[in-house]
């Protein structure tokens, strides 16, 4: 039985809570937690169905993960829940939680160290790793992603005050940057089924469009009460 995915989720949520607490937005943790649960459940069900596993007849496989999570389904479900749940203070809420979400994603990728799932395509670079069962050295792809996302999260925190002056700019920048990191690391992953690169490209385009829109729009009376 493999509980590595559950442990990674717990560590990611802990990272999100720490960032929210550090930025004075700890009251929004339940919003992030609910979105994470919705996303994980949807993504797990999507992965099970894609693999031909019936979640009705094998319900324990939802928690005892053997086939991973469909990240596209999980991301779409989590984002959809956030948008719906925060609709009364959409931009203010998304801006407040964006750095925490990026931090959680970074920890999620870094959790590959515990599960020995960091390696991607073959590489001869000095920092390439070799799996214990083979002599081929490979890119530590998940570590690339974790470091890239950590850098994005740090930049968002440094520029948080300036970016939040215009509602939606910070969250749009986060979407664009995260999609960019995913696009950069996707070619270095070992392909399992269809690659989700076009989803990441869509996210990058959407983030860019939102960034231009929210940068140009005048301040629209954003509320300091971030509770939806």
pLDDT in tens, 50-81: 878 888 877 777 766 555 778 788 888 998 99
Q: Say what the pLDDT of residue 227 is.
A: 46
What's the pLDDT band for 32 if we cut at 50, 70, 90? very high
Closest C-alpha to 6, from 77, 158, 108, 142: 108
pLDDT in tens, 186-215: 999 887 656 778 889 999 999 999 999 999
- Higher model confidence: residue 197 or residue 174? 174
3-state secondary structure the chain: CCCHHHHHHHHHHHHHHHHHHHCCCHHHHHHHHHHHHHHHHHHHHHHHHHCCCCCCCCHHHHCCCCCCCCHHHHHHHHHHHHHHHCHHHHHHHHHHHHHHHHHHHHHHHHCHHHHCCCCCCECCCCCCEECCCCCCEECCHHHHHHHHHHHHHHHHHHCHHHHCCCCCHHHHHHHHHHHHHHHHHHHHCCCCCCCCHHHHHHHHHHHHHHHHHHHHCCCCCCCCCCCC
Percent of the chain scoring above 90 in pLDDT: 50
Residues 132, 130: Cα–Cα separation, whole Å: 6
Q: Where are the domains of the chain?
A: 4-216
What's the pLDDT band for 221 if we cut at 50, 70, 90? very low
Q: State mean pLDDT over 127-153.
A: 89
- Higher model confidence: residue 124 or residue 218? 124
pLDDT in tens, 92-118: 999 999 999 999 999 999 998 887 788
Q: Say what the pLDDT of residue 206 is.
A: 95
Residues 201, 179: Cα–Cα separation, whole Å: 7
Across the chain, mean pLDDT equals: 86
What's the pLDDT band for 185 if we cut at 50, 70, 90? very high
Q: Say what the pLDDT of residue 223 is.
A: 42
């Amino acid at each position: 039985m493999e509980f590595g995915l559950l442990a990674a989720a717990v560590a990611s949520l802990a990272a999100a809570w720490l960032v929210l607490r550090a930025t004075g937005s700890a009251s929004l943790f339940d919003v992030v937690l609910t979105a994470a649960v919705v996303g994980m459940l949807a993504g797990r069900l999507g992965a099970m169905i894609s693999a031909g596993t019936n979640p009705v007849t094998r319900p324990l496989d939802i928690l005892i993960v053997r086939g991973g999570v469909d990240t596209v389904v999980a991301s779409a479900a989590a984002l959809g829940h956030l948008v719906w749940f925060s609709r009364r203070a959409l931009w203010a809420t998304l801006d407040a939680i964006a750095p925490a979400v990026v931090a959680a994603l970074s920890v999620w990728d870094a959790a590959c160290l515990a599960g020995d799932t960091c390696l991607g395509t073959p590489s001869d670079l000095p920092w390439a790793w070799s799996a214990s069962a083979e002599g081929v050295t490979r890119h530590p792809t998940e570590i690339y992603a974790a470091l890239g996302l950590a850098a994005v999260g740090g930049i968002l925190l440094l520029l948080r005050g300036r970016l939040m002056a215009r509602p939606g700019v910070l969250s749009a920048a986060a979407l664009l940057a995260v999609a960019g990191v995913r696009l950069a690391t996707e070619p270095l992953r070992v392909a399992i089924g269809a690659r989700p690169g076009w989803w990441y490209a869509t996210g990058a385009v959407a983030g860019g469009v939102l960034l231009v829109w929210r940068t140009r729009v005048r301040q629209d009376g954003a509320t300091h009460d971030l509770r939806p």
